């Protein structure tokens, strides 16, 4: 005797099939929507002066305001235009040099995927309200972080200790960043290189860097720190092979995220150093040669 499914069961079967077909059809449509959204964001940002390069590992993005009087065209957008970076997909390196107002300008970082290198040079007088580090801490894969800004407070770096893959940290032009900020910096256990300007840091504060098991290179500027203290750190840290003062050096990074240093030609008597250590240009040149030999 032949039996037939009830109309209700047949309807349920057809409904499940229809829902499955809709779900399968939505997958390529979602990919297409994401691709179109990314293309529109790239066009939008490039129209405002952003440099965007596609590499096998992801996008490399450079956004830089060019001061008036120069011929080349730089970034002409506003901080709110940075939100379009959310739609670019995987960004490997991001370098921004522009006028910031506060931590809300970096809200887009929450949706940026795969970021390995981040450089922020903030012009103007931004009010970070102690939130800068927390905004950057969402980039869990970050390996290199370079920050140059006024109005940084010690609280501004809190949260960076959550970056478990961070190897290189550079902070400069910070103004209010003082010795207590080293408490946060020395909690970043993965840190291998540090370059920074820290007000009122002393030789005693250098002992905090012993807590970093992978530290290899340190460049630090402080008017209360001596050359003997840096030599002590290099000799007593198990992995540190180079410890030097920053003096008038600045952190420079290329689009490939390879930090380097360059001198600005300032005279020794204008440098913010401890003159009780009898600083001499010839001794400084000798240290620079040693740094090139010991730092890969």
The pLDDT score that the predictor gives to residue 257 is 39
pLDDT in tens, 9-45: 555 556 667 667 666 666 665 545 455 677 888 899 9
Out of 218-222, 242-246, 267-271, 289-293, which region has the weakest mean confidence (pLDDT)?
A: 267-271
Q: Is 211 contained in some domain?
A: yes
CA–CA separation, 268 vs 287, rounded Å?
Answer: 15
CA–CA separation, 274 vs 18, rounded Å?
Answer: 77
| Residue 178 CA from chain centroid, whole number | 20
The pLDDT score that the predictor gives to residue 284 is 44
Write down the mean pLDDT value for the chain.
76
CA–CA separation, 157 vs 130, rounded Å?
Answer: 7
CA–CA separation, 74 vs 47, rounded Å?
Answer: 10
Q: Is 244 contained in some domain?
A: yes
**Total domains in the fold of the chain:** 1
pLDDT in tens, 60-102: 999 988 765 454 568 888 889 999 998 887 899 999 999 998 8
Q: Is 72 contained in some domain?
A: yes
Side-chain-side CA neighbours of residue 166 (13 Å) = 26
The pLDDT score that the predictor gives to residue 14 is 65
Output the pTM of the full model: 0.72
Q: Is 122 contained in some domain?
A: yes
Q: Is 96 contained in some domain?
A: yes
Q: What is the CATH number of the domain that holds 180?
A: 3.80.10.10
102-122 average pLDDT score: 91
The pLDDT score that the predictor gives to residue 163 is 94
Q: Is 65 contained in some domain?
A: yes
Q: Which residues span the domain enclosing 207? A: 39-294
Most confident of 19-33, 147-161, 231-245: 231-245
Q: Is 68 contained in some domain?
A: yes
Both tokens assigned to 213 = 């098991």
Q: Is 112 contained in some domain?
A: yes
Query: 213 and 239 in contact (C-beta within 8 Å)?
Result: yes
pLDDT in tens, 185-221: 999 999 999 998 888 888 999 999 999 999 999 988 8
The pLDDT score that the predictor gives to residue 127 is 87
pLDDT in tens, 157-194: 889 999 999 999 998 766 657 788 899 999 999 999 99
Question: Burial of 276 by CB count in 10 Å (0-12 exposed, 13-18 middle, 19+ buried)?
Answer: exposed
């Amino acid at each position: 005797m032949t039996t037939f499914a009830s109309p209700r069961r047949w309807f349920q079967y057809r409904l499940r099939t229809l829902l499955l077909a809709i779900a399968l059809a939505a997958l390529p449509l979602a990919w297409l929507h994401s691709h179109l959204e990314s293309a529109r964001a790239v066009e939008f940002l490039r129209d405002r002066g952003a440099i965007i390069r596609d590499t096998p590992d992801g996008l490399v993005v450079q956004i830089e305001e060019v001061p008036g009087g120069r011929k080349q065209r730089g970034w002409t957008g506003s901080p709110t235009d940075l939100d379009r970076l959310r739609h670019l997909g995987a960004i490997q390196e991001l370098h921004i040099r522009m006028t910031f107002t506060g931590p809300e300008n970096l809200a887009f970082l929450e949706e940026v995927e795969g970021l390995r290198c981040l450089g922020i040079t903030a012009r103007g007088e931004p009010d970070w309200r102690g939130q800068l580090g927390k905004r950057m801490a969402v980039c869990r894969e970050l390996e290199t972080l370079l920050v140059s800004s006024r109005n940084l407070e010690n609280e501004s770096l809190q949260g960076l200790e959550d970056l478990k893959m961070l190897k290189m940290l550079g902070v400069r032009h910070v103004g209010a960043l003082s010795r207590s900020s080293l408490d946060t910096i020395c909690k970043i256990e993965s840190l291998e290189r540090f370059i920074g300007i820290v007000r009122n840091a002393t030789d005693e504060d250098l002992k905090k860097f012993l807590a970093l098991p992978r530290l290899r290179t340190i460049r630090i500027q402080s008017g209360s720190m001596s050359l003997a203290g840096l030599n002590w750190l290099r000799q007593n840290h198990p992995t540190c092979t180079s410890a030097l003062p920053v003096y008038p050096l600045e952190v420079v990074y290329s689009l490939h995220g390879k930090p380097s240093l360059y001198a600005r030609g300032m005279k020794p008597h204008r440098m913010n150093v401890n003159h009780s250590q009898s600083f001499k240009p010839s001794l400084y040149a000798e240290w620079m040669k040693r740094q090139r030999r010991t730092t890969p």
